[in-house]
Structure 1
Amino acid sequence: MANYSQVIFFELIGFSKVPEKYNLVLAFTMFIVYSTALVVNGAVILLIFISHHLHQPMYIFIVNLALSDLLFDTITLPKFIAKYWFQAGRLSFFECFLQLFFVHWLGSLDSFLLMVMAGDRYVAICKPLRYSSIVTYRVTVVSCSASWLVVAILVLMVPLLVAQLSFPGQTQVYSCFCSASALMRSAYGDVMNTRQTILIVALYLLLVPLAIVLLSYAIIILKIHLSGSSGNWQKLFYTCTTHLLVLSLYFIPRVFIYIANYAKLVLPPDISTLILCIYSYLPHIANPIIYCLRTAEIKNTLRNLVRRSIGSAV
C-alpha cells in the first residue's frame, strides 16, 4: 500500500463543462462562500463563547454545529478555490483520503447534532418543568462529545474500504472534493460490494438520526394537539421553526441524492457536483444566520455588544 499510494495523485475536476474563461468567476464565488461561512460561523462561536449567559444546552449544540461546518469548509473549499484560481487542484493519495475521512465525518456529524437538538426541543416542550434536571450541562457536553466520537468511528471504514480499490496513477475526481462516490467512479474493477457497504453506512448515519428527529417532532405535535391550547401552538412555532429550517436544508437534499442512487438515476457529473455544493455549503451559511435572526437571546446579545462597541468608540 505504501508503494501503491506514492505513485497516485488525484486531480479535482470540479465542473468539467465550465469554460476556462469562467475559472476566476468560480474561484471568486467560492471564495465569497467560504469567507461568509467563516465569518458567520466564527462570529456565532465567538459570541456564545464570550457570553456566559449563553452557556446553555441549546447554544452548546449550536456551537458544535457551527464548529463542524467551519471545519468542513476549511478542509474542502481552499483546495477547490485553488483549483480554479491557481490551477492547483492536485492532491496526493494521503491528502485525498484524509480529506475523504473528514468530509464524511463532519458531513455525517451534523445529522447526529441535529438529532440531539431535536431531543432538546422535545424535552423543552413536552417536559418543561423537568428540562433543567434532564438536559444538564454535563448531559449536553457528553451527548455532543459522543456524537463526534461515534460518527468518527463509524466513518473510519469509508476511507479504509475505498483505499482497497485500484486507481490509475492520475485519477480525475469529478467533484469539488474527495468523496467516496466520486472516487469509486474512477476506480478500476468491480466496486459494487464497496459501494453497497458504504451506502449502508451512509444510510445508517443519515436515516437513523432522521427517524429519531421525525419521531420527536411527531410526539411534540401530538402532545400540543391534545392540549388544545393556541398558546402552546405559538410556543411550538417560535421554538421549533428555527430547527425545522435547518433540518430541511440538511436532510432534504441528502435524502434526494440517496433516493437517486437507490433508483440508479445517473446524473451528469456537473449536476451532481452542483447539488453537492448546494447541500454541503448553503446550510453552513444559512444555519448561523437563521439562528441569529430567530433566537432572541443571540440577537439581544449581539445588539448589546454592538452598542457597547459604539459607545466605547465614541
Structure 2
Amino acid sequence: MANESASLYFVIVGFSGLQEKFYPVFGSLMFCVYSISLCANSLVIGLVLWKKQLHQPMYIIIANLAMSDLLFDTTTLPKIMSKYWFGTDSISFSACFLQMAFVHTLNCLDSLTLLLMAFDRYVAICKPLRYHAIISSRTAIFLCLAAWFAAASVGTFVMTWALPLPYCGPNRVKSFFCFLAPVAVLSCVDSSPIRKNGLYAGLIMHMGPFSLIVVSYIIVITSICALSRLDNWQKALNTCITHWFVITIFYIPRIVDYGYHAQVLPNPDITALMICIYSYVPHISSPIIFCLRNKEIKKSLESFSKLGISRRRFKPR
C-alpha cells in the first residue's frame, strides 16, 4: 500500500505530563547525560586505540560497546535537548524512520556485543590454554563486524515494517525518539500485527543473547568454584564482576519494561521513564565501570593522565 501520510513530520511527545516550566531542567539533565556519555565512551575508545597492551580481544569488544552507545546517544539525545530547550519537537518523516533504523540497530548491537563479551570470558576461564587459539584480536574484530552486520540487518528490516504503512491521522510519537511501536500505532490502518512482530523481534534479539549469557556464566561460575587455589578463584571472579554489572544494568530494566507492557493500558509517562532508564543509564555507567574496575584500562588511564600533566609541566615558555 502506498504511503498516504497527510503530514510530512512527526511530533516527539516525551513526558506528556511534564510541566513546561521544568523543560529547561530536563533538557539540562539530558545535556549532562550526553556530555558524560560522550566523554566516557570516547575515552574508552581512545585508550583502546592508543595503548598497544589494550589491543586484545576483550578490550576490542569493550571499545565496540562504547562506540555503539556513543552513536545511539548522538542519534537521539540532541533532538531531546532541542525539544526541551528550544521547543523544536517536530521531526521530519524521513528523519524519523532513519532514526528508527539506527535505534533498533544499535540496541541489537549492544545485546550482541554483551554476548561476545560473555563468550570471551567463557573461553578465558573455561579454556584458558586454548584462549589465544580460539580468540585472537583479528577474530574479535571479525566478530564485532559480524555483529554490526547482523544488527544493521535487523534494524533495517524492522524499519521497513513501519515505513509502508499509511500515516494520515495523529502524528504525536509518545516517546523520546522514533522506534517501531510508538510510530506504527499512528498508522491509519490496524498495525497491531506489525507491533507484535516488533515485540517478538525485540524478545529474540534481547532475551536470546541474555539466555546464552546466563548459561555461559553458570558454566563459568561452576568452573571458578572448581578451582583449587584461592588466588586463582579470586582472579577469575574479578574478571567477571565488571561484566555482570554491565549486563545487569542493560538487561534488567528491559525485562521489567517487557513485563510492564503486558498490561492492557500502560501509562505513557512510565513507559517513557523506562525507556530513558534502559537507554541511557547503561551508556553512562558502562564506561565508568570499565575504567574503575578494569585494571588494564585503569592503568592506561593513569598513564594517560600522568602524560598530560608532564606535558603541561615541561611546556616551554
| TM-score, with length taken from structure 2 | 0.94
Indicate the residue corresponding to 2:274 in structure 1: 275
Q: Deviations over 1:64-103 (max 9, x none)?
A: 0000000000000001110111111111111000000100
Once the two structures are TM-superposed, the CA of residue 182 in structure 1 deviates from its matched residue by 1.4
Q: Which amino acid aligns with 1:293?
A: L
SS at the partner of 1:4? Answer: coil
Shift of the 191–4 alpha-carbon distance from structure 1 to 2, 3 Å rule, reads: closer
SS at the partner of 1:88? Answer: coil
SS at the partner of 1:156? Answer: helix
Once the two structures are TM-superposed, the CA of residue 179 in structure 1 deviates from its matched residue by 1.4
Once the two structures are TM-superposed, the CA of residue 157 in structure 1 deviates from its matched residue by 1.9
SS at the partner of 1:186? Answer: coil
Once the two structures are TM-superposed, the CA of residue 6 in structure 1 deviates from its matched residue by 7.8
User: 1:264 and 1:17 mapped to 2: Cα distance?
Assistant: 20
Indicate the residue corresponding to 2:134 in structure 1: 134
For the 8 Å contact 1:9–1:170, the answer to whether it is kept is no
User: 1:279 and 1:187 mapped to 2: Cα distance?
Assistant: 26
Q: Deviations over 1:153-205 (max 9, x none)?
A: 12322111112323235500111101112113333332221122112211111
The alignment yields a C-alpha RMSD, in angstroms, of 1.7
Indicate the residue corresponding to 1:69 in structure 2: 69
SS at the partner of 2:266? Answer: coil
Q: Which amino acid aligns with 2:9?
A: F
Q: Which amino acid aligns with 2:179?
A: S
User: 2:159 and 2:135 mapped to 1: Cα distance?
Assistant: 35
User: 1:170 and 1:35 mapped to 2: Cα distance?
Assistant: 34
Once the two structures are TM-superposed, the CA of residue 231 in structure 1 deviates from its matched residue by 3.2
1:149-298 residue pairs with structure 2 within 5 A? 149-168=149-168, 171-261=171-261, 263-298=262-297
User: 1:167 and 1:5 mapped to 2: Cα distance?
Assistant: 4
User: 1:291 and 1:265 mapped to 2: Cα distance?
Assistant: 39
Shift of the 68–289 alpha-carbon distance from structure 1 to 2, 3 Å rule, reads: same
User: 2:208 and 2:180 mapped to 1: Cα distance?
Assistant: 20
Moved more, 57-66 or 130-139: 130-139
User: 1:43 and 1:244 mapped to 2: Cα distance?
Assistant: 21
| Identity across the alignment (%) | 43
Indicate the residue corresponding to 1:96 in structure 2: 96
Indicate the residue corresponding to 2:312 in structure 1: 313
Moved more, 157-166 or 65-74: 157-166
| TM-score, with length taken from structure 1 | 0.95
Indicate the residue corresponding to 1:105 in structure 2: 105
Q: Deviations over 1:30-63 (max 9, x none)?
A: 1111111101111111111111111111110011
User: 2:103 and 2:250 mapped to 1: Cα distance?
Assistant: 15
User: 2:68 and 2:308 mapped to 1: Cα distance?
Assistant: 29
Any stretches of 5+ residues in structure 2 without a counterpart? none
User: 1:124 and 1:48 mapped to 2: Cα distance?
Assistant: 19
For the 8 Å contact 1:176–1:273, the answer to whether it is kept is yes
For the 8 Å contact 1:9–1:169, the answer to whether it is kept is no
